[in-house]
Amino acid sequence: MPRKQFDLIVFDWDGTLMDSTATIVKSIQAAAKDLGLPIPSREAAAHVIGLGLTEAMATVMPGLDQKMLGRMLERYRYHYLSKDHELTLFDGVPELLDELSQQGYFLAVATGKSRVGLNRALNAAKLLSTFHATRCADETFSKPHPAMLQELTRELGQDLKRTVMIGDTTHDLMMAQNAGSSGIAVEYGAHPVSQLAACGPLFSARSVPELQQWLNENA
């Protein structure tokens, strides 16, 4: 039976599959504190989640010279990696991915993480063999540029119009728009619901089970 709308389902990682928003925010704030820099608010730190790390730090800490930006990146990595082993998938994510896989969808990840960081996270979550393809911010253009989705569909022989991007930030939804794909928001991650709604997602899920139900009925 032909699918209703999609053949390829692409997930963001942090704040969408992995419950890591608070850890990323605290790591950004701790890095700034270490260097005696103004500590960004939770909202400001959360807003840059999903961007490539260098772009995220340059955005949340504008005006830093290259040397200080490099130190900020080093301190962020130190704090994040000290908590990395404690991070877990959101409740229901393994079951969601298992069901989608059994139904024959192509599954992919498009993330602001580095390749090393994503591979480490996939290994820890026992998901290395779950996804057909993945793209990271240090391999191509950062969100909201459409390159990640363009490259994933090309690699998997899929159609952008039959691809959906699922994420917790406006960066994810804007990338989907820029690529000519559909976007689904999840409301339990980094960006406020009002900002997600302004991007006009096809659906906005309050929880993983709600996302799973919608995909079952509509995807």
> Which CATH number belongs to the domain containing residue 81 in this structure?
1.10.150
Half-sphere exposure of 213 (CA within 13 A, CB side): 7
Q: How many residues does the chain have?
A: 219
Residues spanned by the domain of 177: 8-19+88-218
pLDDT per residue over 61-76, tens digit each? Answer: 999 999 999 999 999 9
Of 7, 12, 168, 172, which one is the catalytic site residue? Answer: 12
- The answer to whether position 1 is within a domain reads no
The domain total for the chain is 2
> Is the same domain home to 114 and 189?
yes
- The answer to whether position 210 is within a domain reads yes
Last residue of a domain, one of 42, 67, 86: 86
pLDDT per residue over 147-165, tens digit each? Answer: 999 999 999 999 999 999 9
> Is the same domain home to 13 and 52?
no
- The answer to whether position 2 is within a domain reads no
12 CB-near residues (< 8 Å, 6+ apart): 50, 109, 110, 111, 165, 166, 167, 168, 169, 172, 189
Residue 19: active-site member: no
> Is the same domain home to 98 and 64?
no
104 CB-near residues (< 8 Å, 6+ apart): none
> Is the same domain home to 163 and 187?
yes
- The answer to whether position 102 is within a domain reads yes
Q: What angle do CA 125, 131, 135 make, to 5 degrees?
A: 95
> Is the same domain home to 77 and 96?
no
Separation between Cα atoms, residue 33 and residue 5, nearest integer Å: 47
Of 7, 14, 168, 172, which one is the catalytic site residue? Answer: 14
- The answer to whether position 3 is within a domain reads no
- Residues 92-105 as b/e (b if ≥16 CB within 10 A, e otherwise) read ebbebbeebbeeeb
pLDDT mean over 126-153: 97
86 CB-near residues (< 8 Å, 6+ apart): 23
> Is the same domain home to 177 and 200?
yes
> Is the same domain home to 159 and 120?
yes
Residue 65: active-site member: no
How far is C-alpha 144 from the geometric centre of its chain's CA atoms? 11
Q: Are 107 and 165 in contact (CB under 8 A)?
A: no
> Is the same domain home to 97 and 51?
no
| Prediction pTM value | 0.94
- The answer to whether position 147 is within a domain reads yes
pLDDT per residue over 4-22, tens digit each? Answer: 899 999 999 999 999 999 9
Give the residue, 115 or 84, on which the prediction is more confident: 115
